[in-house]
Chain A
Amino acid sequence: MSALPEVGAEALVQTRTPSALDLFMFSASSWLLHRIHYDTPFTTGHDGHPGLLIHGPLQGVYLVQTAESWLGDAARLRSISYRHLAPAYLGDTLECGGSVTAADDDGVEVELWARKPDGTVTTTGKARFERR
């Protein structure tokens, strides 16, 4: 059984720059029909967005993937909470990482984040992993 990391240990940062095709595939595969993720004229004309928005739930997936590739061999994700602090747009790069905030006999708790290279945090989360 792989060991779980200790409090303070950090995930390897994963970098994502989703393309227009990636955004469209996420909308299509989840049947998320909101135009702000695939219709550029609507999005830039509406609310004055500078471009297509990277879906909040796709950023949730990035947090889960970052944590699972780090801890998934030793433990299973039992729960996650996340919220969005700033918008992320097509063309933005997101650096996703995390660290262990608590550990006990059954598992670990981690905090997770996605941020732009300028330091703006777009999504932040907390998750609990339990030993397999």
Chain B
Amino acid sequence: MGVMTEEARRWAERQYPRFEMQVTGTDIAKFAHATGETNPIHFDRGAAIAAGYPDVVAPTLFPYVVRMHASALVPPEQLEADGSPSADVPPLPTRRAMAGETSVEFGERIVAGDVISVDKRLADMYEKEGRSGPLVFVEMEFTFTNQRGEMVARENFTRIYR
């Protein structure tokens, strides 16, 4: 009856290698322009320095960019037909996924030149009976740290398979 098979339980115990992203001013400017940021501290080094930062500053939700690179910066043959990274797809009878809750706590700001490490962990994977059948919740936990060992963000992200 349950869809949390032995195979799914083993998948849930997987470990993820630490990922490091060298964050450039170009990475920050791309994300800033893509999201319509107008404050020059995100793309003009002089403006960032005048505002008291050592270099251009990443927009608040930039840790998302780092964790997407950690998941999806793989050879194309390691992607599913829909473009999602195969390593993130659990062995379940369904692949219909929807985003659950995202929670982010912020620490030090990310600036150009930082090397941001992501430690990724599957915090929990469990089944609940939904109205139209089983639902499986996959809860991922990400810790983002800069090159000085300071916490820049912590994020919990739940994906729901139905």
Name A residues whose Cβ lies closer than 8 Å to a Cβ of B.
Answer: 16, 22, 25-26, 28-36, 39, 42, 46-47, 56-58, 60-61, 64-65, 68, 76-84
Contact = CB atoms under 8 A, between A and B. Distances in A.
Contacts of B5: none
Contact of B105 (A25, A29, A34, A79): A79
B65 A31 contact: yes
Given A60-B102, A80-B103, A22 B60 contact: no
A61 B102 CA distance: 12
Interface residues of B, number: 32
B83 A83 contact: no
B138 to A, nearest CB: 15
Contact of A33 (B36, B64, B79): B79
Contacts of B36: 16, 22, 65
Contacts, number: 85
A34 B35 contact: no
Contacts of B84: 33-34
B35 A65 contact: yes
Given A61-B35, A78-B105, A80-B104, A33 B60 contact: no
B100 A36 contact: no
A56 B68 CA distance: 13
Contacts of B35: 26, 58, 61, 65
B61 A81 contact: no
A106 B102 CA distance: 24
B8 interface: no
Contact of A31 (B33, B68, B103): B68
9 contacts: A25-B30, A29-B34, A34-B83, A58-B35, A60-B102, A65-B35, A77-B106, A82-B101, A84-B99
